């Protein structure tokens, strides 16, 4: 196991031991908010600026971001692999705490584009043993 993977394993184990779930989620969410590239946020904002309504925004965004999927009124972000550069090669399962970072990344994208709070829930995680990562988004 790489040194960085040992460090991440130790970090998450300590967060899980020392902090309550809400605090852990908030810390990792804020890390994800800081991880998203500004250029991608600007692309999402451009999709919103040119859209007449939420449906048009989501349609435009789905052309820029292939991971956005809709099933009826439900909005999902689905990844077929882990894109996190810190853990994509991590050989073991990770605590569910870790994926709050990706949750924060997604929240930052939508909230920045829409100018309002959104709710994002983790439904599946590759680092938890699922075949995909799946997040539901409530605008």
* DSSP one-letter string for 13-78: HHHHHHS-HHHHHHHHHHHHHHHS-HHHHHHHHHHHHH-SSHHHHHHHHHHH-TTEEEETTEEEEE
Q: What is the pLDDT of residue 8?
A: 92
Q: What is the pLDDT of residue 42?
A: 97
Q: What is the pLDDT of residue 91?
A: 85
Cα separation, 119 vs 116, whole angstroms: 10
Cα separation, 69 vs 135, whole angstroms: 10
Which range of residues forms the domain containing residue 94? Answer: 3-138
Q: What is the pLDDT of residue 63?
A: 95
Q: What is the pLDDT of residues 97-137, one digit of tens each?
A: 999 999 999 999 999 999 999 999 999 999 999 999 999 99
Q: Mapping DSSP to helix (H, G, I), strand (E, B) and coil, where does residue 4 land?
A: helix
How many domains does the chain divide into?
Answer: 1
pLDDT beyond 90 at 22: yes
Q: What is the pLDDT of residue 129?
A: 94
Q: What is the pLDDT of residues 29-81, one digit of tens each?
A: 999 999 999 999 999 999 999 899 999 999 999 999 999 999 988 999 999 99
- CATH assignment at residue 101: 3.30.1380.20
């Amino acid at each position: 196991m790489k040194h960085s993977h040992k460090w991440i394993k130790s970090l998450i184990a300590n967060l899980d031991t020392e902090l309550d779930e809400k605090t852990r989620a908030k810390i990792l969410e804020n890390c994800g908010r800081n991880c998203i590239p500004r250029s991608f946020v600007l692309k999402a904002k451009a999709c919103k600026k040119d859209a007449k309504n939420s449906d048009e925004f989501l349609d435009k965004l789905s052309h820029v971001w292939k991971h956005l999927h809709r099933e009826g009124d439900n909005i999902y972000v689905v990844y077929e692999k882990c894109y996190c550069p810190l853990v994509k090669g991590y050989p073991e399962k990770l605590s569910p705490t870790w994926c709050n970072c990706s949750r924060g990344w997604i929240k930052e994208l939508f909230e920045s584009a829409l100018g309002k709070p959104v709710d994002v829930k983790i439904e599946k995680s590759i680092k938890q043993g699922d075949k995909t990562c799946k997040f539901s988004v409530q605008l």
